[in-house]
Structure 1
């Protein structure tokens, strides 16, 4: 066993008595590399649990999306209201026209395991804020029951509050910064070096937002509140808690202090701490050293010292002291030979490099480098593909097929996992193959079955 990766549950990744520690006791080289994309997907949930105003915001957001999208009638009203708004803004030159511009969309629900789904949900509400307000107003006036009218009224009050608009655009900005990193970590073939660079740029952008972003965000939120007749709070006034009781108020806390420090800075600080915690120094160093083996762009990342340190620091049990001397010698020959060999000119991934070394028999000459490449290939750097394969099992092994044998289940899953290989296969050709397999030799076909 060479690697382990799973979600961040304490009974899984704990360093003392949990699953990670149990594996490490038997195999010290079974490095635990968390599924980074999975960690970032749940960073928002953790942020909601730590900041009550954010939790309330996403709770209201989910209620608004569910309420407006609950029936085809409301969905049609939303699209009609959006079409009227687009037509008006185009007429007044507030929108730019062009191909694929000003498309009529719908509100998106936020999923529990996809960071990008929260970002999409917020973007859709920003794009259709005015149309959503109109639909809720119609529901308050013409709702079929007191329950619907009450829910619509509560959602309308929330959407017309300054705090809702402030958090809406704050989370839109934060998620927009982190979204690129999250998407890069979910790619099937992870570019390790570029992903690590995105970690640094993401932290830098969040820090810049923390220092200079509050006043810019206010200047963006205030015109929107003015457009929709939302009351703007006086920032120098004393902030009152939700209860409004004087005995529960904090002294000398202004409205600006509440939004700047209690919400704005707190959320950004949590995101920075979350990224620093997930991308710890050990895992970062392991991934960065492993990137020296990347053959992309003509082996541009190839560094002998980095590869040597990778074997020396992280795989001491797999290379003897004598082999470490041989490894450096092999690396010197490898640097001169492989990057200039015709068979390796178009190699772009480490797995393809490993296969090409075997095909050209160079794996016998560079057997220590080949061993290190195979060890790196076992690292669970990205488990997105594996997670999606497990998610697909619910479509294969359903209640009607719950007695499926393991062999048939494995075959069915392989067709899904390697679907790029199975897509060109024509179903009629499969039927024909089975037909000719059953057809006795020496007989003449009279007709074929449908």
Structure 2
């Protein structure tokens, strides 16, 4: 618990410093111009970004921008601390320069960027409409394995950060902080053995602590998703291709027992028969949705013979992987029902919300044709022969 608190405190401090850097340059046109004049050719299209408290992708963008523009930021802070006419501006630039030049800060930027590289890609892919449970579970397991491997490579991460620090001219060693003196009582058996070496302290309390928390959260939060994905492995093309009849029958029976209200007990036999009939076609598919199209769309005449297999496919495809779409729909309500539309009734609000959710289809509609059809239906004048 203590390690988690200390790692959270260090990461929170780094995020505050990143936000302070953006505010320092972003709240002044002159300071932003100074930073823009020092742009290196390879980072001309990368600008500092604000840390969003809710979207992890924006945090990744902000950290990557600082990582690639770190040298330009240092030069801008040095120039402002030497040439600025305002004492408060010089002092703030000096303080920011001192904070971001620490080796621990550079290591934490590199660490957080590595973590968000894994989680940000998985988060974006899980929000895709074509994503299913089996793919999402495989992506999560891959992210967990990558983070566990990175946890064992502290020396490699330190060498990478050291090369960056030498390139940027920053500190190359951890700072040894003074430990707080703790009062000892007469019944204490030994001295308070706390970590005094800066590198050892960072390795145990920050590096390991941060990675342990993110690995634990990824494993704990998606337990139900992984369990559900394991239940539906029976209808995955890889299982249908390589599993034996007994293994496939047992996996199908577990699925039908769990969803006994939706899938009948005859599902196991139908699935084995489905594999026998469509063995060659199954070998050319890699996802459950393609198998569902093969059975329901391409071969509708045989759906009555494999009714429970169709039910399993439809049940799998209707289970949502994430709630991102629903959350965005609720977020849109603030834009739809604004101050100027405060008297909007429920029916109109419902219609505008549907248009916002299905905006891709709404943009493809021919509005002029719809208006003409509406005008023809509502026309009151009678036609004369």
* TM-based fold match above 0.5: yes
Corresponding residue of 2:161: 221
The answer (yes or no) to whether the contact 1:393–1:413 under 8 Å persists in 2 is yes
1:39-81 deviations in whole A, cap 9, x for unaligned? xxxxxxxx78852111111111111122222244433332321
Corresponding residue of 2:27: 70
Tell me, yes or no, if structure 1 residue 203 matches structure 2 residue 144: yes
Corresponding residue of 2:9: 52
Aligned residue among 266, 269, 272 for 2:215: 272
Q: CA deviation at 1:218?
A: 1.7
Distance 1:68 1:299, change over 3 A: farther
Distance 1:275 1:126, change over 3 A: same
SS at match of 1:240: coil
Aligned residue among 240, 252, 266 for 2:177: 240
Distance 1:265 1:425, change over 3 A: same
TM-score w.r.t. the length of structure 2 is 0.80
Corresponding residue of 1:263: 206
User: In structure 1, what is the Cα distance between the partners aligned to 2:359 and 2:6?
Assistant: 39
The answer (yes or no) to whether the contact 1:79–1:104 under 8 Å persists in 2 is no
Q: CA deviation at 1:128?
A: 1.0
Corresponding residue of 2:188: none
User: In structure 2, what is the Cα distance between the partners aligned to 1:67 and 1:351?
Assistant: 55
Map 1:321-360; keep pairs closer than 5 Å: 323-324=264-265, 326-337=266-277, 349=289, 353=293, 356=296, 360=300
The answer (yes or no) to whether the contact 1:188–1:384 under 8 Å persists in 2 is no
Aligned residue among 235, 259, 280 for 1:293: 235
SS at match of 2:81: helix
User: In structure 1, what is the Cα distance between the partners aligned to 2:346 and 2:252?
Assistant: 40
User: In structure 1, what is the Cα distance between the partners aligned to 2:102 and 2:277?
Assistant: 66
Corresponding residue of 1:189: 130
The answer (yes or no) to whether the contact 1:286–1:310 under 8 Å persists in 2 is no
SS at match of 1:349: helix
The answer (yes or no) to whether the contact 2:50–2:62 under 8 Å persists in 1 is yes
User: In structure 1, what is the Cα distance between the partners aligned to 2:180 and 2:334?
Assistant: 52
Q: CA deviation at 1:407?
A: 2.2
Q: CA deviation at 1:188?
A: 2.1
Aligned residue among 200, 203, 225 for 1:283: 225
User: In structure 2, what is the Cα distance between the partners aligned to 1:162 and 1:328?
Assistant: 59
The answer (yes or no) to whether the contact 1:206–1:272 under 8 Å persists in 2 is yes
The answer (yes or no) to whether the contact 1:308–1:327 under 8 Å persists in 2 is yes
Corresponding residue of 1:421: 361
Aligned residue among 242, 245, 259 for 1:315: 259
Corresponding residue of 1:116: 57
Corresponding residue of 2:330: 390
Distance 1:348 1:275, change over 3 A: closer
Corresponding residue of 1:10: none
1:276-316 deviations in whole A, cap 9, x for unaligned? 11122x53121233254357x9976995543332121x223
Q: CA deviation at 1:246?
A: 5.6
Structure 2: tracts of 5 or more residues without a match:
184-191
The answer (yes or no) to whether the contact 2:103–2:174 under 8 Å persists in 1 is no
Q: CA deviation at 1:165?
A: 0.8
User: In structure 2, what is the Cα distance between the partners aligned to 1:435 and 1:74?
Assistant: 58
Q: CA deviation at 1:251?
A: 4.9
Tell me, yes or no, if structure 1 residue 306 matches structure 2 residue 251: yes
The answer (yes or no) to whether the contact 2:137–2:225 under 8 Å persists in 1 is no
Corresponding residue of 2:186: none
1:172-215 deviations in whole A, cap 9, x for unaligned? 1222233322222222221332322222222222122111x211
